[in-house]
Amino acid sequence: MVARVNYDEVEAGTELPPLTIPVTRGTLVQYAGASGDFNPIHWNEKFAKEVGLPDVIAHGMFTMASAVRVVTDWVGDPGALVEYGVRFTKPVVVPNDDKGALIEVSGKVAAKLDDAARTVRVDLTVTSAGQKVLGQSRAVVRLA
């Protein structure tokens, strides 16, 4: 794969197409199986509430990985991602119903970093149920 976004055509302030990610209890079970993270706070409502959570919550790494898709979808090549980091600020609460939760992600090119390497920094805003769930969410990506 090759990045399809051209560095010369991007400026600071360029907005990425937003992404909405649905999350259900089934999604969490699938992620637990793939990751090996079977912590009961991610599937057992009774346990989650006993430890002080409002309900079952999504895995932090699932939330982080899902959010960066806004960048990889935009650039067209997951291998173009050079660096990515976040701070976990609030959990994504996933109710046991037919709707689950939604993770809303938007991104904006914050800066052109290196003309020779053709890299930019993209700042992400990641929310669920109106609350910011990831803070300082930033990705560095190499463009075409």
Q: Are 49 and 55 in contact (CB under 8 A)?
A: yes
Task: Determine the Cα–Cα distance for residues 53 and 63; give it in Å rounded to an integer.
Answer: 17
Instruction: Give domain limits for the chain.
Output: 7-142
Q: pLDDT tens across 83-122, in order?
A: 999 999 999 999 999 899 999 999 999 999 999 999 999 9
Q: Are 67 and 60 in contact (CB under 8 A)?
A: no
Give the pLDDT of residue 12: 98
Strand partners, 85: 138
Q: Is 94 buried (19+), middle (13-18) or exposed (0-12) by CB count in 10 A?
A: buried
One-character DSSP codes across 30-53: HHHHHH----GGGT-HHHHHHTT-
> What mean pLDDT do residues 62-82 have?
97
User: Is the pLDDT at 2 greater than 90, yes or no?
Assistant: no
Q: Which CATH topology does 7-142 take?
A: Thiol Ester Dehydrase; Chain A (3.10.129)
Q: Are strands 131-142 and 119-128 parallel, antiparallel or unpaired?
A: antiparallel
The mean of the pLDDT values for the chain is 97
> What mean pLDDT do residues 53-65 have?
98
Q: Are 122 and 108 in contact (CB under 8 A)?
A: yes
Predicted confidence band at 77 (pLDDT cuts at 50, 70, 90)? very high
Q: pLDDT tens across 117-141, in order?
A: 999 999 999 999 999 999 999 999 9
Separation in Å, CA 53 to CA 22, 24, 43, 86 = 20, 17, 12, 21
Give the pLDDT of residue 1: 83
